[in-house]
Structure 1
Amino acid sequence: MNFLRGIVRAQGQIFLQAGWGPAVFALAAMTVASAWFALAALAGAAVQAGCALALARWDDARGLRRLREGGTRARSGIPGHDPESSRVGAKALARSRAGVIPAEVDQGLHGFNGALTGCAAVLSCGPGIPAALWTLAGSAVCALIVWGAPKLSWPESLPLLTGPFCLVNSIAVAVAVPFERAQGAVVPLGSPVHDVLAGAVRGPAASGLMGYGALLVTVALGVAIPARGSRILRIGVPVLAAALTVPLWWVITAVGVAPYTWPFVLVTWTVLALRSRQWRAGEARHDER
């Protein structure tokens, strides 16, 4: 695992891309708007990745402890031995030992929510202590959400995507209102960068905001839909889903919530949930035969 490589690649994962090229271009685009954006994105990615590794080590230690306690109880015949607890500990230990989390950090998968959180913090507060605290706390909470979701039985068929970023920063925006930066402190209000990150209503089509969520939806679903399916399905579903992000964006904006990437997340989750349900129904029919 290369930690520095991981936090750079996390910038490309914002656009569902794991390569170096997208990561470098994403950082360059942030730097053009403001160097503070790039610094905050790297800092947020580093915080989330660091927390993810720390939580993985904690899981590892807890798994070892459970295995030892379970083995001792089994050998001693002590009442209260829970085999299921040992299996859970073994699963957590195997996950860490296999290097799953470090490998995901190296790919940037445990950093892009933190990167977006850093950008949102600078956008809302301007560079300074409030933005730094927002980046630190928000990125850490994103890591906790990613770590805790599987433990709370979050469906494996629904990747979290940028959901943690949206949830954490939608809440943080309300808290950060007293610290809202003066207009033009980092990037002019109404500019494309501001519109894309904050979901400003001003000039959404011209800024590319209307196409941003749709682009992410088509990329995500283009990979998720099996290639063996019909061409109509492989093309029609992503296109229809992309179209749904536009009215959803307006609805979210109308209720006074910063859209961020909520349209992309909600539409993608809906389509994947329906696909998973259809797959389970097909499996059930097959079993009945």
Structure 2
Amino acid sequence: MPSAEARQHQRSKAPQPLAYLLASVRGVGQVDLQPGAWTGAVILLGLWAAGWETGLFATLGTLISTATAYALGVDRSGIALGLQGYCGCLTGIALVSSLGHHPATYVLAVIGAIMCTLLMAALTTLLAPYGLTALTAPFCLVSGVMVLGAPSFGRIWHGDPAPVSSTTSGDTALSWDDLWHGFFTNVSQVFLVDDWYVGLIMLVGLALAGVRVVLFAVAGSAVGIFAAWALGAPAELIANGIYGYNAVLVAIAVGAVLLAGTVWNAVYALFGAAATTGLTASLTSLFKPFGGHTFTWPFILTTWVLMAAVPLLPRFRPSD
């Protein structure tokens, strides 16, 4: 085992450009908990297909978060897997989609990406005794605070675009167009994008991560649609993926990453996917009075609860 001095020397070395770029690409895939470079590359392609602003800010956020981790001497193995870039990726997208494309948004994206790396370290320390990981909580905290405070500053807030509400009333009858559109946008809305073709591209990327991963993504999307329909959610919001993206994340995280591949674990993961659909509406109602945003909080809270319960539930076995 290398000495403490050797490890410190390794951390202080400047990263090789190729290693840095690969870590950043993997960071995009880690939004869906996948470290594969090809998966990250295809998902990033989907983000650029959604629009150059989305692709640019996703890239910027990932690069800055990853570079910050290198600069602060974070463990290289975690950086290489993309674990320091994914919250910066989401933060960049959240800021440009909420605040619009303005010079101030670039500044906030850089600051937000740096803060994501700091919060990742803090939350990892706090959650380690409980066997839990930070997931996308740094993104939710940083983006939530920035977007909530933006209207108070004239150089930041420009009054557009309007935030999407998930409490809109409307017809609950699902058409075929609603179903297939929602199936794919459930995947793209993980990245705050409601274009169905982007979700299709991302599913291709998830398929490159393995059959089990893409099957749970597909199952999570289907469960999210069914649960939202059963609860009487408006068809328009189901079609736009508002109620299903957290279900996709829970299904992938619990079913394909954190727990072993058993029938009991699969049922547990899909139960969590259904539960998080209802939680999405509850948290949206909670945040709405003060202008807060739900983001991926339903996924985070559901996954934390499910995984915290595992040590006392012998039927469910963590992955090796």
| Corresponding residue for residue 284 of structure 2 | 253
Query: Within 5 A, what are the aligned runs for 1:1-289?
Result: 2-56=19-73, 101-152=75-126, 154-155=128-129, 157-178=131-152, 179-183=157-161, 197=192, 203-222=236-255, 223-227=257-261, 231=263, 233-255=264-286, 256=288, 257-278=292-313
DSSP-derived class of the 1:14 partner: helix
| Amino acid in the other structure paired with 1:264 | F
C-alpha distance in 2 between matches for 1:28 and 1:210: 24
Task: Assess, with a 3 A threshold, how the Cα gap between structure 1 residues 172 and 216 changes in structure 2: closer, same or farther.
Answer: same
Structure 2 residue identity aligned to 1:247: G
The TM-score, its normalising length taken from structure 1, stands at 0.71
Does structure 1 conserve the Cα–Cα contact (< 8 Å) formed by 2:93 and 2:191? no
Q: Unaligned 5+ residue runs, structure 2? A: 1-14, 167-180, 195-233, 315-320
The alpha carbon displacement at 1:120 in A equals: 0.7
Cα offset for 1:248?
0.6
How far is the alpha carbon of 1:177 from its aligned partner?
2.4
Give 1:151 deviation, angstroms: 3.9
Structure 1 residues 278 and 155: alpha-carbon distance in aligned structure 2, compared to 1, 3 A threshold: farther
Q: Percent identity, please.
A: 29
Q: Which moved more, 1:124-133 or 1:201-210?
A: 201-210
- Secondary structure at 1:203's aligned position in 2? helix
Deviation at 1:181, TM superposition (A): 4.8
For the Cα contact (< 8 Å) 1:249–1:259, is it kept in 2?
A: yes
1:183 and 1:240 mapped to 2: Cα distance?
Answer: 35
Q: What is the alpha-carbon root mean square deviation over aligned residues? A: 3.0
Letter in 2 for 1:209: I
Letter aligned with residue 24 of structure 2: I
- Report SS of the residue matched to 1:182: coil
What is the alpha-carbon distance in structure 1 between the residues aligned to residue 54 and residue 282 of structure 2? 28
Q: Which protein shows a greater Rg?
A: 1
Is the contact made by 1:10 and 1:112 (CA closer than 8 Å) also made in structure 2? Answer: yes
Q: CA deviation at 1:9?
A: 1.7
Compared with structure 1, are the counterparts of its residues 147 and 244 closer, same or farther at alpha carbon in structure 2 (3 Å cutoff)? same
Q: Sort the Cα spacing of 1:127 and 1:46 in 2 relative to 1 into closer, same or farther, 3 A.
A: same
In structure 2, relative to structure 1, the CA distance for the partners of 1:271 and 1:106 (3 Å cut) is: same
Instruction: State the number of aligned residues.
Output: 230
Deviation at 1:214? 0.7
Q: Shift in Å at residue 165 of structure 1?
A: 0.4
Report the TM-score when normalising by structure 2: 0.64
Deviation at 1:154, TM superposition (A): 3.9
Q: Which has the higher contact order (CA 8 A, sep 6+)?
A: 1
How far the C-alpha of 1:207 sits from its partner, in A, is 1.5
Q: CA deviation at 1:43?
A: 1.1
Q: Deviation string for 1:219-266 (max 9, x for gaps)?
A: 111132234x6x2x2122111100111111001111213111111111
Q: Partner letter of residue 225 of structure 1?
A: L
Q: Distance in 2 between matches of 1:6 and 1:196?
A: 19
Q: How far, CA to CA, are the matches of 1:41 and 1:153 in structure 2?
A: 26
Question: Which one-letter code corresponds to 1:103 in the other structure?
Answer: S
Distance 1:214 1:3, change over 3 A: same
